[in-house]
Amino acid sequence: MAYDEDTAITIWPEYFDIDRTRAEGRRLPKALCVKNPSLDIIAKGALILDLEYEVLDGKAYPADWAAKKGCVRVERGKLKKTELLPKIGEILIKNQ
């Protein structure tokens, strides 16, 4: 499946930040999270999973609108978002 901006999955670095609580936006258990996750490694995770992606700098996570850390938009492939996030979390841990 090719990247389609209308149906792409948005992945924020806040999902993988070990210093955040679940209420602050962390989506995974702390075992799959890292300190200060970068967009480059999240994009590398999408590349390893053979997914097309687009890195958007300067975008702000809605719950933390003042911090413009950016996000990665990933094609909607065979994986759902809930299946994709742990796989990218494992890649973040390996490349920390």
The model's pLDDT over 46-86, given as tens digits with 9 standing for 90+, comes to 999 999 999 999 899 888 888 888 999 999 878 899 999 99
> Check: CATH 3.30.56.30 for 9-94?
yes
Q: 33-48, pLDDT tens digit by residue?
A: 999 999 999 999 999 9
Helix or strand (DSSP H, E) at 56 = strand 53-56
For 8, which DSSP code?
A: P
Distance from C-alpha of 86 to C-alpha of 27, rounded to nearest angstrom: 9
Q: Tokens 């975008």 appear where?
A: 59
pLDDT band of 27, cuts 50, 70, 90: very high
